[in-house]
Structure 1
Amino acid sequence: MSKKKKQKQGYKNTSKTKSSNIWFYIIIAVFVIGAVGLVVLNNMGDEKASFDYKNQPVLGEESAPVQIVEFGDYKCPVCKTFNETYFPQIDKELIQTGKVQFHFMNFPFINNDSTRAAQFAEIVYKELGDETFWKFHESLYKNQPADYKYEKIDFLTEKELTERLSEFVSQEEVDRVVKAFKDGEGEKPVNEDLKVVNDLQINSTPTVYVNGKLYEGKSYEDLKKMVEEELEDAK
């Protein structure tokens, strides 16, 4: 295991410090360095992570030779930027062309409502499938407040999550998801994601892996190049 490098960007887990002011300055620093840049902590060196993709939300063809995994938090503003800036290019050029399967895993660390949203989303995936999950996923980031004071506002409430889901499914389906959520059925899959987070020593969001290799680039072009290298190796 290689030594950890100092992170330049991304929303970092600083759970050892509970001060709201410290959280605020961390976020400001992130965006000063570059909100649209994506650099994640080097915690794997040349090692390859092994993922169980079977029970994760997925986009793309089963035959795609490259697997991308994003670890995210629905309360993370940099994840919102990734979803709105990078992901449309990934979808158009890599997923829709059959080159990549894209998976999402939870790293909810910012606040209690991060965990609530992750558990709710896992149930949406389990009960209603991939298509509905990705609509819900996109809606959560799209509706993330631009100016919230981080830990001070608990905006991913059960009411908010239910309203987001109600945008594109029936009331019967909403009720099914809410019941499963109240029964605690989202806890296990989120805890399983967190075990992977801990095993890989991930401490920031978004963190991205390509065929088990940590992505450390600064742009979409860097990510695309990494995918192309993996495609070449797969020939």
Structure 2
Amino acid sequence: MKELTTPIAVLISGVLISLSILFQGQLKLTAPNVKGAKTAVVNDAPQPTGSTAPSPTPLERVSVSADNDPFLGSQNAKVEIIEFSDFQCPYCKRLFDNSYSKLKQEYIDTSKVKLVFRDYPLSFHQNAQIAAESAGCANDQGRFWEYHDLLFTKQDEWSALSNDAVKAKFGTYAANLGMDSFRFNSCVNASTFKQEVDSDLNDGTKVGVSGTPTLFINGKRLVGAQPYETIKAEIEAELSK
């Protein structure tokens, strides 16, 4: 009996092993490749492109008065830019350095843009108020824009001076530009244009100006020393209408 049992046991064991191998092979052939499937889903997912990126938030448009402030360009230009600025503001100087000459050559001198300058002297700039008032005195002699350019170009030269010293410096600038020195200095010392500067400041605050520079391009507010390309794009958008 023992002699029969042993071969049968061996045979049964062999059959079981064969079935096990076959079954495992079937599992390996039919089981899904989970890792491969997951990778395929990720690779097939659509990727965002420039054409589907969200558009920038449109600029707010508000009603802004040009008042009777100095301007460059044609009175009838299709695009009006009203700039609220501070002669002592470093960001205003950056805007002047990077964009003013390009804007003038490309749009102002070609009668496409009218640029209006309004004062917004910030209280923490010690000489901003008197600089704005002195620019009014220069405007009174028909030399506003030459004086405007000089104040920004030489900002580092006068911004930290004492009150008396800055008045003397501004007097020198006026004389160098051919203004009547006595008339200019008397105008500055009498704070002749203080009320006008304060009026600009109040008007700016009413339309949401809280810092400088702030531009209104046909009423669309653009804040900060934006790259020229940004300003140009807004101008072109208005010209195309």
Q: CA deviation at 1:153?
A: 4.8
Structure with greater contact order relative to length (CA < 8 Å, sep ≥ 6): 1
Alignment partner of 1:124 is 2:135:
no
2:128 to 111, 114, 136: 114
Q: CA deviation at 1:220?
A: 1.1
Matched AA of 1:94: Y
Q: CA deviation at 1:45?
A: 6.0
Partner of 2:237: 229
Q: CA deviation at 1:64?
A: 0.9
Q: CA deviation at 1:49?
A: 2.3
- Pick the structure with greater CA Rg: 2
Matched AA of 1:121: A
Residue by residue over 1:166-214, the C-alpha shift from the partner in whole angstroms, topping out at 9 and shown as x without a partner, is 11114xx221122122222111110110111220231211111101110
Partner of 1:161: 170
Give runs of aligned pairs for residues 31-110 of structure 1, distance below 5 A. Answer: 46-51=60-65, 53-109=66-122, 110=124
Alignment partner of 1:135 is 2:143:
no
**TM-score of the superposition, structure 1-length normalised?**
0.70
Give runs of aligned pairs for residues 17-36 of structure 1, distance below 5 A. Answer: none
Residue aligned with 2:68, SS? coil
Rounded to whole Å, the distance in 1 between the matches of 2:94 and 2:59 is 26
Quick one: percent identity of the two aligned structures? 26
Q: CA deviation at 1:63?
A: 2.1
Partner of 2:228: 220
Task: Give the superposed CA RMSD.
Answer: 2.4
Give runs of aligned pairs for residues 195-206 of structure 1, distance below 5 A. Answer: 195-206=202-213
Matched AA of 2:151: L
Partner of 2:35: none
Rounded to whole Å, the distance in 1 between the matches of 2:161 and 2:173 is 18
Rounded to whole Å, the distance in 2 between the matches of 1:222 and 1:135 is 26
Change (3 A) 1:216 1:75: closer
Matched AA of 2:240: E
Q: What count of residue pairs does the alignment treat as equivalent? A: 182
Change (3 A) 1:48 1:61: same
Matched AA of 2:192: E
Rounded to whole Å, the distance in 2 between the matches of 1:72 and 1:47 is 19
